Amino acid sequence: EASSFGDDVPPSAWAGRKTFFDIPVFTIDGADAKDFDDAVSLEERAEGGWRLGVHIADVSHYVKEGTALDLEARRRSTSVYLSGAVVPMLPFPLSDNLCSLRPHVPRLTLTCLMDLNAAGEVVHHAIFESVIRSVRRFTYDEVESLLKGETAIDVSPPVQSAVARMGQL
């Protein structure tokens, strides 16, 4: 059932979804993380403040209630991490591919956009279906280095700026 979706997200699956291809969206995980199921973005609002995006892999697009995938995921309950191995809640075609927010490939997501004022208070939010193309996978150590003002290899100025602004926010 998991293999039936293929290896790529077809553009037809984007229909009706907001795309986040023109702003830096990136993941931040531990160096040894095996799945990349959440990403963030940050934009400055013209009227002041910020728009923070939290983008979560849209597993519900693939796992429908009552299907074999759903029943097996319920049986497993969660992914299990062992020394040097992982037993994922979802089969590898989903957990390692279609539901993994890998850089430079479109992935279906559920997004929460939050408008924050200059004090960092949420003044508005919206949740909707979306599609992203992550520009980078960060580790926590890389982000910490950027927040300390250090530079990182393969980080564009807009991405470096977004990370710095997130740290300030």
Q: What percent of the chain has pLDDT over 90?
A: 66
pLDDT of residue 85: 79
pLDDT of residue 35: 76
Task: Give the CA count within 13 Å in the CB-facing half-sphere of 125.
Answer: 9
Q: Which whole number is the average pLDDT over 66-73?
A: 93
Give kind and range of the element (H or E) at residue 165: helix 157-168
Q: Could you tell me the pLDDT band of residue 169, with boundaries at 50, 70 and 90?
A: confident
pLDDT in tens, 17-37: 999 999 999 999 888 777 789
Residue with tokens 């799945």: 35
Q: Which whole number is the average pLDDT over 128-156?
A: 90
pLDDT at 116 over 90: yes
Degrees to nearest 5, angle at CA 34 with 126 and 55 = 10
Q: Which whole number is the average pLDDT over 139-157?
A: 87
Is there a contact between 58 and 42 (Cβ–Cβ < 8 Å)? no
Q: Could you tell me the pLDDT band of residue 94, with boundaries at 50, 70 and 90?
A: very high
Is there a contact between 163 and 147 (Cβ–Cβ < 8 Å)? yes
Q: Which whole number is the average pLDDT over 67-79?
A: 90
pLDDT in tens, 29-59: 888 777 789 999 999 999 899 999 999 999 9
- DSSP structure string for 65-86: TTSHHHHHHHHH-S-EEETTEE
Q: What is the mean pLDDT of the chain?
A: 91
User: Between the CA of residue 69 and those of 8, 48, 66, 78, what are the distances in Å?
Assistant: 18, 44, 8, 13
Q: Could you tell me the pLDDT band of residue 76, with boundaries at 50, 70 and 90?
A: confident
Is there a contact between 160 and 151 (Cβ–Cβ < 8 Å)? yes
CA dihedral sign of residues 149, 155, 156, 158 = negative
